[in-house]
Amino acid sequence: MSEKWTAEDIPDQSGRTVVVTGANSGLGLATASALAAAGANVVMACRNTAKADAGAAAIRDRHGDASVVVETLDLADLASVRGFAERFAANYGSLDLLVNNAGVMASPRRLTKDGFELQLGTNHLGHFALTGLLLGQMQGRDDARVVTVSSTAHKLGRINFDNLQGERRYFRWFAYCQSKLANVLFMAELERRLRTAGSAVKSLAAHPGYADTNLQTAAPPAIDRAIFAVSNRLLAQNSEMGALPQLYAATRPNLDGGLFIGPDGFEEQRGYPKVVGVARRGRDEATAARLWEVSEELTGVSFGLGA
C-alpha cells in the first residue's frame, strides 16, 4: 500500500538550487510551486517566458518568501539549451536537482530547429543535452538528483533506430510513445553510467498517471483535443496530484537511483506516489546503450561518464 505521501511531506529544501523545465503550467508549475514552498531556489526553465512570469508571480503570491526565477529554455533548439546551460553556470554555479518535465504530445510531424522530429527532439534529445551540459554543476552536491518525467505510454513504445525521426513513416502517437520510452531508457542508462563513474548523483524517473494539463490540448490535432477536453474533466486528476510522483522522486529521502515512481491507483492512472515497474523494453540495456550513443552523436553532447 502507498504511504499517501503528499507535498506536505517534502523535506526542507532550503539552500538547494532546482531547475524545472516546462514550469510555466501544469505539472511543471505545480512542481516548481511545491519546491519553492519547501524553501528551494527554483529556476523555471521555459520556452514561454510570459506564461512563466505569470506562474512565478502566482507562486510568490501564494508563498511570499518563495525564491523563483524565470529563464529562457527552448528544448527544441540546441542553441537555446547550450545558452541556458552557459547562463546557469555563470549565475548559479551549482545545481542540486534537475527535473526534466517539459514535453509535447501527439503533435503532427514537425521538426525542431536542429531537424529532429519534434517529440523525440523535445521530450528526449533536448533533455539529454540539457542534462549532459548541467551534470558538472551537480557533481559533489549532497543528494543531487536528475528526475526525468515519462508516461505509462512508454509501455507501448519501441525505439525504431531505422526510422527514429519518422522520416519514412510517421504516426503521432507512435512517436510520442517512442519518446516516452526514450525517457525511461535514458534514466536507466544515466544511472548505470553514474554508478560506474563513482558519481553520487542519482537518476530517477516518474510519471503522473492521467493528469489534467495543457499537454493534451497544446499540440494534438483538433479531434484529439476535443476528446481530451471531455476525458480530462471526467477521468483525470489535477496537476497537483499528477506532480506528486516527480516530487517524490526529487525529494523523498534515501531513495535509490534507477527507480520509477508513479501513482498507486488502478493501472497507475491516479493516486499517491509509489515505486512502480518499468515495461520490458524500458529495461533493455543494449537498446539503452545504443540510444545513448545515438543521442550523443545527434546532440553533440558528451557526458564524459564512460560506458
Say if CB 111 and CB 170 are below 8 A apart: no
pLDDT at 221: 61
* C-alpha to C-alpha distance for 65 and 154, rounded to whole angstroms: 38
272 as an active site residue: the answer is no
Grid cell at residue 92: 548559479
Which one from 92, 176, 210, 248 is the annotated catalytic residue?
Answer: 176
The CA-based angle 217-222-224, given to 5 degrees, is 65
pLDDT at 233: 52
* C-alpha to C-alpha distance for 46 and 67, rounded to whole angstroms: 16
In angstroms, the Cα distances linking 74 to 62, 94, 122, 130 are: 27, 21, 8, 10
pLDDT at 212: 77
Per-residue pLDDT tens digits of the chain, which is 307 residues long: 458 999 999 999 999 999 999 999 999 999 999 999 999 999 999 999 999 999 999 999 999 989 999 999 999 999 999 999 999 999 998 999 999 999 999 999 999 999 999 999 999 999 999 999 999 999 999 999 999 999 999 999 999 999 999 999 999 999 999 999 999 999 999 999 999 999 999 999 999 999 876 654 555 566 554 454 444 554 569 999 999 999 999 999 999 999 999 999 999 999 999 999 999 999 999 999 999 999 999 999 999 887 7
If you ran DSSP here, which 8-state letter would residue 98 be given?
A: E
Q: Which residues contact 111 (CB under 8 A, 6 or more apart)?
A: 117, 118, 121
Strand blocks (E) in the chain: 17-21, 41-46, 67-72, 97-100, 145-149, 202-206, 260-263, 273-276
If you ran DSSP here, which 8-state letter would residue 11 be given?
A: P
Q: Which residues contact 222 (CB under 8 A, 6 or more apart)?
A: none
Looking at the whole model, is its pTM more than 0.85? yes
Amino acid at 230: V
In angstroms, the Cα distances linking 307 to 138, 195, 216, 243 are: 20, 11, 36, 32
pLDDT at 214: 64
Architecture field, domain 12-299:
3-Layer(aba) Sandwich (3.40)
pLDDT at 229: 47
Nearest to 85 by CA among 97, 76, 73, 77: 73
